[in-house]
Amino acid sequence: MEFKLKFTSEANKSLESLEKTNPKKHKKVLKTLGLMQVNSRHPSLNTHKYESISGPNGEEVFEAYVENKSPAAFRVFWYYGSNPDELTILAITPHP
């Protein structure tokens, strides 16, 4: 099953900003999002539940890696949408 991706306004702004300020990182994020559409548990994503936050209606939030061993490596935070074939991208951000 291929997932449809929905973006929060925050995630959308981050993606647009990256496109302008860091095209290389933007390309990596797009690759990650593409993998997520096909398989949200793809091994290279290192997807795991993120305990510190939850979705707007209490949904479990997951973290997927854009990069792994680099300073301020980017992550995509997401949760399953209201439809079974939907992922909502909550945030695209550097890991602290």
Please give the full DSSP string across the chain, using - where no structure is assigned.
-PPEEEE-HHHHHHHHHHHHH-HHHHHHHHHHHHHHHH-TT-GGGT-EEEEEEE-TTS-EEEEEES-SSSTT-EEEEEEE-SSTTEEEEEEEEE--
Identity of the residue numbered 14: S
The model's pTM is 0.93
The fold for domain 4-94 equals: YaeB-like fold (3.30.2310)
Residue 69 has what pLDDT? 79
Residue 59 has what pLDDT? 95
Given the structure tokens 């992550």, which residue do they identify? 75
| pLDDT at residue 53 greater than cutoff 70 | yes
**pLDDT > 70 fraction of the chain, expressed in percent and rounded:** 99
Cα–Cα distance between 72 and 54 in angstroms, integer? 22
